[in-house]
Structure 1
């Protein structure tokens, strides 16, 4: 049986085995699969690992996640309150930095892998490595230096400091966040993560102007990547478009995988990347909540027809909402497996077949 790692290695070479790789971000859904509340589920690494293994076996995609929730990073830096919803991802409830005076007090742990707040993630990673290591990609989520302050002080206060605040405090916080980033990256790699999603909405001109990106964001992206190496990194800007910065990021960092925004033009993204890296075409999975069966198939086919010619293409999703109906998840993945099994010329010749059925 062909494994997800084999599909990914083929895609890196510009080849297709049975189909292209499909990476699916079913994270919170593991709790539902185990019949648990989200708070109970995320309390133990063995629950998260079991949930990820079951979800992958149930749907057949090519990865598992070590991700609990984004606020876990804030917990490593002193956050004591996480807000757990019944049907959505947990969020930071109490910020570590409440005023600028708290920035000099922020302490960066020397050893992330031995930190008490990392132990459940470590348990999860070890179990995933034992069960699926070498067969399916184990994906970790790492917040960039420029984005981590949002988890520590909130978006409004961070934008105020970033754009108009005292430069010395801004740079002190960024330096501390960079130090944390490098140590967290080392911990995830040591624990067995294969792919490391480098999350940075500030790496897109949807969030900041191009001039600010070039003068401020790009130097910190380079600093992050130079410190840890580009191996296994996946450039990710959330829903923010990245086509406008793709060329310079590839040139200056050497990152070899890019999760396009659902709002990026996939053909244009492939043209800019020009075979220098993997392109991940992302479906806007918020639409899966109420899209029809035919709408889902049509959108999956559109993305694949745009991305598969030329190879080096992966199909993926964003952070799939907890409330997506199971039948819609199945429809999306079945379409990805069907249309992703076609060779590029077959994909092109079958264009508009689904649309014609509508």
Structure 2
């Protein structure tokens, strides 16, 4: 079976030789090609080449088209990205500097015509050509309720989200949701078949359950309304969200849940059951300091909890550059070994 078929089998509960094994290393391609981060992220061809080389090196199941989260801000007017060779690129210029800028924020009529989109399109076209028929191609989408954090900064967004003025907040959320709908459609059209829907504000770690129910859920429903949701992964960064799993099923009808390593995985698996796909996630921050033996033991622990009854995937967060290569290799190899199914 191809990795894409194995993922489909896990999601549907059909037989497969093993569980899917995801490894997310969007920042490692630069090192693979011997480039600076700024050069690497300048062209979609470089990113596709780097990700394809990593796929061949380690042999896991998925491949990434993600450049960096700030790419979405660039599409909305961000003029400066801060690049670092030992970490992920970040926004260095906020699009929204004061509340008056929200009224001025212009959502492109067609984001695919924006110059910043070209590298995304180039990357996905290559990935679709090379592995589109055999591998999950992952793309990243920031939810409308989280996108403002990279447009104006988390502190200002939290203040606006919680304290208002709420008409201004909702104007910004409407614009961000319009953008999110466009982005999802454009990524699908280019061949992305696993969309990581990043929604930290969908976790009770950030806001209360009441706020999730009353404010966040309606905007997430709007984000995801067009085009269906079979390819959408509910992802709250590394924040826990076991307390809202049933709500996500009921309100968003999302079946794939990327569980925080800080959460109780056994509880998450029980809550999700055969309704969807539970993704057990290793704490790859701790992998920076773990030995290979510790990494292997943690992979075994996670898979032993999750794979009984099927409907399970093993993965990591966003692998830090500082994680030793031996630990990455150990993680992937151990996941294949312990992830075998009868």
Runs (4 or more) in structure 1 with deviation over 4 Å come to none
Task: Give the match's secondary structure for 2:141.
Answer: strand
Higher deviation after alignment, 20-29 or 227-236 = 227-236
Offset at residue 324 of structure 1 (A)? 1.0
* 1:284 is the counterpart of 2:307: no
Which residue in 1 is equivalent to 2:301? Answer: 302
Offset at residue 17 of structure 1 (A)? 2.4
Task: Give the match's secondary structure for 2:95.
Answer: coil
Task: Give the match's secondary structure for 1:234.
Answer: strand
1-structure distance, mates of 2:114, 2:309? 44
Task: Give the match's secondary structure for 1:53.
Answer: helix
Which residue in 2 is equivalent to 1:108? Answer: 107
1-structure distance, mates of 2:167, 2:250? 29
Could you tell me whether the CA contact under 8 Å between 2:124 and 2:191 is conserved in 1?
A: yes
1-structure distance, mates of 2:225, 2:270? 26
Higher deviation after alignment, 289-298 or 155-164 = 289-298
Measured against aligned partners, the alpha-carbon deviations of 1:21-58 in whole angstroms (never above 9, x if no partner) come to 01110111111110011111000100000011010111
Which residue in 2 is equivalent to 1:164? Answer: 163
* 1:130 is the counterpart of 2:129: yes
Which residue in 2 is equivalent to 1:18? Answer: 17
Which residue in 2 is equivalent to 1:52? Answer: 51
Aligned length: 342
Offset at residue 99 of structure 1 (A)? 0.1
Measured against aligned partners, the alpha-carbon deviations of 1:208-251 in whole angstroms (never above 9, x if no partner) come to 11121111112212222223421200000001101100001111
1-structure distance, mates of 2:145, 2:120? 23
2-structure distance, mates of 1:187, 1:127? 15
Could you tell me whether the CA contact under 8 Å between 2:21 and 2:60 is conserved in 1?
A: yes
Measured against aligned partners, the alpha-carbon deviations of 1:285-332 in whole angstroms (never above 9, x if no partner) come to 111111012211111111101110110100011011011111110011
Which residue in 1 is equivalent to 2:189? Answer: 190
Measured against aligned partners, the alpha-carbon deviations of 1:240-269 in whole angstroms (never above 9, x if no partner) come to 101100001111111121101111111111
Which residue in 2 is equivalent to 1:212? Answer: 211
Offset at residue 18 of structure 1 (A)? 2.5
Offset at residue 271 of structure 1 (A)? 1.0
Offset at residue 16 of structure 1 (A)? 4.5
TM-score by length of 1: 0.94
1-structure distance, mates of 2:232, 2:280? 16
Task: Give the match's secondary structure for 2:300.
Answer: helix
2-structure distance, mates of 1:16, 1:193? 24
Which residue in 2 is equivalent to 1:348? Answer: none
1-structure distance, mates of 2:238, 2:144? 18
Task: Give the match's secondary structure for 1:274.
Answer: helix
Could you tell me whether the CA contact under 8 Å between 2:178 and 2:223 is conserved in 1?
A: no
* 1:144 is the counterpart of 2:152: no
Which residue in 1 is equivalent to 2:67? Answer: 68
1-structure distance, mates of 2:270, 2:293? 29
Offset at residue 62 of structure 1 (A)? 0.5
2-structure distance, mates of 1:16, 1:264? 28
1-structure distance, mates of 2:53, 2:16? 24
2-structure distance, mates of 1:151, 1:19? 38
Measured against aligned partners, the alpha-carbon deviations of 1:49-77 in whole angstroms (never above 9, x if no partner) come to 00110101110000100000000000000
Which residue in 2 is equivalent to 1:351? Answer: none
2-structure distance, mates of 1:268, 1:164? 34
1-structure distance, mates of 2:118, 2:309? 42
Could you tell me whether the CA contact under 8 Å between 1:182 and 1:228 is conserved in 2?
A: no
Task: Give the match's secondary structure for 1:258.
Answer: strand
Which residue in 1 is equivalent to 2:93? Answer: 94
